[in-house]
Structure 1
Amino acid sequence: MQATSPHRGRPGRRRRALMALFAMGLSVTAWAQTPGAAPCVLSMRWADDPPYFMRGPDGQVRGVRFELTQEALRRMGCQFKLVELPWARALIELEAGRLDMLPGALRRPEREVYAHFSKPLQRSPNVLFAHVDAPLDPRARRLTDIAATGFRLGVQIGVSYGPDFVALSADPAFVDRLQKLTSRRSLWQMMALRRIDGVIADEATGRYELGELGLTEQIRQTAVVVSDEPALVMFSKRTVSAEFVSRFDAVIAEMDRDGSLAAVLRRYLGPEPGELTPGARALRAAGAASGRAPRR
């Protein structure tokens, strides 16, 4: 699948055909099913974020979300065109109808105004990774359990880590111990040098990046789960119908049943993908202990 620049343009004939269909109350769903219609092609945002999206040795984009959405759309008779965009710009483009799909989004009330949301493709919580020699109580399960211990935490600038982190950010002592950087890879290197004790990261991304950097012997995943809200696929309401999203969800469920979804997760995340990752197992165990299922 060819990646394009942020300033991509759709063929004029296709745009005019789409506008005519929208004027008649049709959308991607009806358009894809119209005999003789142009191919069903949706624009989808991507950015380097392994193992979800990344360039392989051949320069081609690949990754978990790339393969899952590619296969789901293939089964629906559609394709996607990749558009490389920063996250904030992608939200603007989706709202305006200039972008059709945005994987990896969290459901928020303000976004529901202009976007449909898929069901979760895969569950990967934000967890705490710590240096093997860091002063961490093995009984710790939440960020609040380490707040008063002197633990030096590394975080990315502009990233939200859930309600516990927001609450602790009101504590000046906690904030003073934070190391904030733009690059998560720089934080891994700081931890390897023992300048910080731990880093919060998406479980799948953290495991992947530590493997790439050769730091799995120095840095370990802990049982501290910071947040567990699942990431979804956003679809622009201006260009994609609710019926199309329902079909997308049905195809993902079909991929789950036939094993193809698990195969993609296993290829990038190892033998315990998605719902079976250590962090997800911790969430499941906590839910069982409290008499409730983990939040999806």
Structure 2
Amino acid sequence: MLSREHWVTVRQQRQLARAVAVLALGLTLLRPVSAAPASLCPDHPIRFAHYEFGMAYSSGYGGIDDDLQKELMRRSGCAFEVSLQPRARTWVDLKSGSIDMAGSGIQTAERDAFAWFFPYIIEDNVMVLGPRVPRSMQSFKAFLADPQLTLGGVRSYRYSANYDAFVDQLILARRHSEAADPGALFRMFEARRFDAFITNPLLYMYYVRVKGLPDPQPGLRASIRSMPS
């Protein structure tokens, strides 16, 4: 089963952000021994960006990333400025320095050029398959080989090196539909705008149970399975 890894994302250029990412331990190690005690907090609040991602973070609900950000603030003693924004914008703002930290991201070689990543959750990816996907289909290669099938995804999302290679091929073939956030993605699937999407069970079940979106199983054959290459 392929793994999905969630990370705290921190601008590589900021040593403070690195210290906060390892909780209070880094703050102690970076404090000069001979100097008088002084705060290592920056001269502005640490700008932390959330995005909608089910149990990781949802507006009005909180989540794992919300708990993590609050604990970082408590342990470091630094002020935080928290925002909620689309995921695609987060990567642009991290690169430009408009924000300092973000939760729940996927590490890639491109993002390594401007961000430092600290792993804290590992989950499994699955594909949610609609009624047009044959029950016999058991691999992403088979999905890719059928020109009638389309995939949905949230703008700027990356999944894993294995999945991303296939997703990029579908994007080039114009067989990929983009959504602004996971909630919109689920609603588009329920409306049969595409045939499948990649997710993890915690995110999928959050939108069914907590947000009250209709479970597609009564009206659609929604099969949830791991898809090897």
TM-score, normalized by the shorter chain, greater than 0.5: yes
Compare CA radii of gyration and give the structure with the larger one.
1
* 1:49 partner SS: coil
**Distance (Å, rounded) in 2 between the aligned partners of 1:187 and 1:98:** 27
Structure 2 stretches lacking a partner, 5+ long: 1-15, 17-25
* 1:35 partner SS: coil
Do residues 182 (structure 1) and 184 (structure 2) align?
no
| Contact 2:128-2:198 at 8 Å conserved across structures | yes
Q: Which amino acid in 1 is paired with 2:126?
A: V
> 36, 42, 46: which one pairs with 1:42?
46
Structure-2 residue corresponding to 1:129? 128
Structure-1 residue corresponding to 2:113? 113
**Counterparts of 1:66-145 in structure 2 under 5 Å?**
66-78=66-78, 80-118=80-118, 120-131=119-130, 133-138=131-136, 140=138, 142-145=139-142
**Distance (Å, rounded) in 1 between the aligned partners of 2:93 and 2:192:** 41
| Contact 1:126-1:226 at 8 Å conserved across structures | no
Question: Kindly tell me: are residues 36 and 206 of structure 1, through their superposed partners in 2, closer, same or farther at Cα, counting changes over 3 Å?
Answer: same
> 52, 55, 61: which one pairs with 1:51?
55
| Contact 1:128-1:226 at 8 Å conserved across structures | no
RMSD of equivalent CA atoms: 3.8
Question: Kindly tell me: are residues 200 and 112 of structure 1, through their superposed partners in 2, closer, same or farther at Cα, counting changes over 3 Å?
Answer: closer
**Distance (Å, rounded) in 1 between the aligned partners of 2:87 and 2:184:** 20
Question: Kindly tell me: are residues 50 and 145 of structure 1, through their superposed partners in 2, closer, same or farther at Cα, counting changes over 3 Å?
Answer: same
* 1:55 partner SS: coil
Displacement of 1:129: 0.8
Higher helix proportion (structure 1 or 2): 1
Q: Which amino acid in 2 is paired with 1:163?
A: A
Displacement of 1:122: 1.0
* 2:215 partner SS: coil
Displacement of 1:125: 4.0
Question: Kindly tell me: are residues 198 and 92 of structure 1, through their superposed partners in 2, closer, same or farther at Cα, counting changes over 3 Å?
Answer: closer
What TM-score does the superposition give when structure 2 sets the normalisation length? 0.61
Q: Which amino acid in 1 is paired with 2:121?
A: Q
Displacement of 1:134: 4.3
Structure-2 residue corresponding to 1:205? 203
**Distance (Å, rounded) in 2 between the aligned partners of 1:191 and 1:93:** 29
* 2:135 partner SS: coil
Aligned sequence identity (%): 21
**Distance (Å, rounded) in 2 between the aligned partners of 1:68 and 1:221:** 33
> 164, 167, 171: which one pairs with 2:166?
164
Structure-1 residue corresponding to 2:144? 147
**Distance (Å, rounded) in 2 between the aligned partners of 1:102 and 1:181:** 22
**Distance (Å, rounded) in 2 between the aligned partners of 1:194 and 1:125:** 24
Question: Kindly tell me: are residues 80 and 144 of structure 1, through their superposed partners in 2, closer, same or farther at Cα, counting changes over 3 Å?
Answer: same
| Contact 2:152-2:179 at 8 Å conserved across structures | no
